[in-house]
């Protein structure tokens, strides 16, 4: 998931970033992950297909259902230093 997330972040493609939890959900069983996330299997499958940009709430529910956490981190522009 980390590699796909980094690739998506670098390209600015939010749908690609959303595809990473979708790949994990398919490996674990989409129906079970959908139940754990409180979503229908069909809507979860569409949201995580990589063709759409799912809402933040959907990603939060899926990541939680997968037993994972989201992490945000600041990015410095080139030439800036951390103080």
- In a domain? residue 81: no
Enumerate the H helices of 1-83 as residue ranges.
Answer: 2-11, 14-28, 30-37, 41-47, 56-65
- In a domain? residue 72: no
Domain count, the chain: 1
- In a domain? residue 83: no
- In a domain? residue 78: no
Q: pTM for the whole thing?
A: 0.67
- In a domain? residue 37: yes
Length of the chain: 83
- Distance, CA of 40 to CA of 14 (rounded, Å): 22
For 61, the domain range is: 2-65
Q: What is the pLDDT of residues 62-76, one digit of tens each?
A: 999 999 887 777 777
HSE-CB for 56 with a 13 A CA cutoff: 3
Q: What is the pLDDT of residues 27-81, one digit of tens each?
A: 999 999 999 999 999 999 888 887 878 888 998 899 999 998 877 777 777 666 6
């Amino acid at each position: 998931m980390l590699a796909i997330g980094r690739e998506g972040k670098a390209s600015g493609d939010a749908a690609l970033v959303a595809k990473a939890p979708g790949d994990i959900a398919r490996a674990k069983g989409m129906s079970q992950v959908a139940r754990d996330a409180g979503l229908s299997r069909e809507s979860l499958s569409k949201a995580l297909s990589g063709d759409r940009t799912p809402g933040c709430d959907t990603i939060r529910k899926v990541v939680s259902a997968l037993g994972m956490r989201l992490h945000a981190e600041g990015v410095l522009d080139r030439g800036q230093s951390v103080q």
